[in-house]
Structure formats: structure tokens, C-alpha cells
Amino acid sequence: MTSNSAETRRRVRQIAKILEELYPQPRTALRYDTPVQLLVAVILSAQCTDARVNQVTPALFARFPDAQTLANAPRDELEELIKSTGFFRMKAKHIQECCRALVAKYHGELPRTMEELTALPGVGRKTANVVLGDLFRTPGITVDTHVKRLSRRLGLTTHTDPTKIEHDLMAVVPRDRWIDFSHQLILHGRQVCTARRPRCESCPLRPWCPQIGVQTA
């Protein structure tokens, strides 16, 4: 558990300020035209890059543009369209089960609460937070692999469980910064604080970062 002290909050304010300067008005890199398409794209992004998902979704959504068509799609055709995103059989299963639930319970539309979204097959808190934040600006912190890595390196959590990391960050990051803060950490994790070769020497966050777990050798 991270320390919810005045010092930690002060450090987070400095980190948030720098991230805001580096990545103003951040949003998900996933491309979509409708709320359901964003949900499907986020499901596809598990263990896959957003760039790869964006290569797959144009053909996918041209063929199956909404919850109804995705729910009724031939499974083998759906799997073939998303195959390059990895774990395609499980993803196809989740997408179809999720879309069938959307059609049955919500007339093919997306619900707007964490509880309703996470009750859908294949939808966890990370997926729900992306959808709620980007579509409806509902405050929440998305914990993906980048946020998990950076929040530990920055000394903002000692946990590895995404839900516990989410709650640790919620305790020290101002509520009105939750959405952007997690998006900015993701961008910083891709561009600077990478997993294997973080560019610590040129990182603007360095004065406020204890670099926990960074390999210097």
C-alpha cells in the first residue's frame, strides 16, 4: 500500500503537472465510431498494441458494425478477422457473449455504470474505466501494464493487483485528474518509461521519481 501522506500528494501534484504539459488532452489511441465499437476495441487490446487493434477494426466493423451483428456473427469469421490481435478465440467468445448481453438487456446500447459494464462477459474494471472515461467522462483510473509499471516505479503503490493499484492511485491523485492521469501514464510508458529500457536520464519526471525496480545495469 502506498503512503497517503501530504508529501506523496505533493509529489503526485508535481508529476501530474509535468504529465499535463507533456500530454495535454490525452485520449485512447483506439479508433471507433460508436460506444459499442470502443468496447470491442478495448477487449481486443488485451495483450495487444492499440496500433495492431486499429489495423484490425476497420474490416471488423465494416462487416459487423454493431452489437446485433457482432452477436450473430459466424464465430469462425469473427475469429479470422481478429486473429492477429492474439488470444483470438477467447476474445471472439467474449465479444459475442458481451454483445448478446447488450442486445438482450440494453437493446444493443452501452450502459453507463461500472457495475453494469463489469457484469458483461469479458469486461473488467480496466475496460470499463476506458469506456466510461472516454465516452462519458466518468472519473476512473485505468490500470493497464503501463500504469502498473509506472505507478510502482514512481513509488505510488507497492501492489501488483490492478484493482489495488487503482485504489492506491485514487487515494493520491485528485479525482478530476483520474481519467487524464492514467492516459498520460500510458503515453509516458510507451514513449519514455518503457519496460526494458526506460530513458531515465532524459525523463522530465526524474526529479520526482524514485525509479523503484528500474534495472540500471
User: How far apart are alpha carbons 201 and 109 in whole angstroms?
Assistant: 47
126 annotated active-site: yes
User: How far apart are alpha carbons 2 and 171 in whole angstroms?
Assistant: 9
Res 216: pLDDT: 56
Res 217: pLDDT: 45
pLDDT band of residue 4 (cuts 50, 70, 90) is low
pLDDT band of residue 116 (cuts 50, 70, 90) is very high
What does the pLDDT look like over 130-180, one tens digit per residue? 999 999 999 999 999 999 999 999 999 999 999 999 999 999 999 999 999
Res 126: pLDDT: 94
Res 6: pLDDT: 86
CA angle 151, 120, 135 (to 5 degrees): 60
134 annotated active-site: no
Evaluate if residue 114 carries a pLDDT over 60.
yes
Catalytic residue among 66, 91, 134, 144: 144
pLDDT band of residue 1 (cuts 50, 70, 90) is very low
Res 27: pLDDT: 87
The pTM of the full predicted model, rounded to 2 decimals, is: 0.90
Ordered by start, the domain boundaries in the chain are 6-26+141-208, 35-136
Catalytic residue among 126, 134, 148, 180: 126
Mean pLDDT of the chain: 94
Percent of the chain with pLDDT over 70: 97
User: How far apart are alpha carbons 192 and 55 in whole angstroms?
Assistant: 24
Q: CATH top-level class for 6-26+141-208? A: mainly alpha
Average pLDDT over residues 84-112: 97
Res 3: pLDDT: 55
Instruction: Domain 35-136: give its CATH code.
Output: 1.10.340.30
Distances (CA, A) of 72 to 9, 33, 49, 139: 49, 20, 27, 33
